[in-house]
Amino acid sequence: MTWSFVAITVLGLAGTLIGERQGRPLRFFAKPIASIGFIGLALALGAIETRYGWWILIALVFGWIGDVALMGTTRTWFLTGLIAFLIGHLLYVVAFFVAGLALVPTTLAAAGTAVIAWLIFRWLRPHLPAEMVGPVLAYVVIISAMVATAVGATSAGAPGLVVVGAIAFFIADLAVARDRFVAPGFSNRVWGLPLYYLGQILLAWSVA
């Protein structure tokens, strides 16, 4: 049962990439289906049976909302997607707090991700429209906090899937930022989308 949801995500991802490459509307059907796969996986693994699982599940739902919004081509749709994912990352942070954090690893990871976040924002800043500076900065801070708390949760005994999933998600978002603000192109999706879905699948699987 669980692997069937993984298969749904993989097939949906393949359809999304094909649609993106060929400029066909296939992606408007395939991408939401791919994202339903990771929500279904979390449910199949018992997400609603624990507090941690509930927070992860709600975060995944906001991921689905963000995926749908980012299919739009206007800045409004992009901002909607950005906000949805920002909320999703905050929910992941809450989930990792619920799971329990090891203080020292969390602190060290926060220091490391702060440096990375500063470098990323410095890279993006010259390419950002004025009205996007604040939202993008907030997003970089929150996703960095998600990675730091994922490290802390894993160090405290959470599955290793948590930190691997969070890092995959983090790297995938660099592809989104590069595509939107720096160098648009299909190549960003080729590596960004698989990493994104890998991250979401691993985070969904962590509820087991």
Beta-carbon contacts of 160 under 8 Å, excluding residues fewer than 6 positions away, are: 154
Give me the pLDDT at residue 24, please.
Answer: 73
- Domain segments of the chain as ranges: 52-205
* Inter-axis angle of helices 186-205 and 51-69, nearest 10: 160
Give me the pLDDT at residue 72, please.
Answer: 84
**Angle 7-11-17 (CA atoms, 0-180°, nearest 5)?**
145
Mean pLDDT score across all residues of the chain: 95
User: What parts of the chain have a pLDDT lower than 50?
Assistant: none
Give me the pLDDT at residue 26, please.
Answer: 85
**Angle 190-196-175 (CA atoms, 0-180°, nearest 5)?**
55
Q: Could you count the other beta carbons within 10 Å of the beta carbon of residue 31?
A: 24
Give me the pLDDT at residue 175, please.
Answer: 95
Give me the pLDDT at residue 5, please.
Answer: 96
> 72-112, pLDDT tens digit by residue?
888 889 999 999 999 999 999 999 999 999 999 999 999 99
Task: Please state the pTM of the whole predicted model.
Answer: 0.95
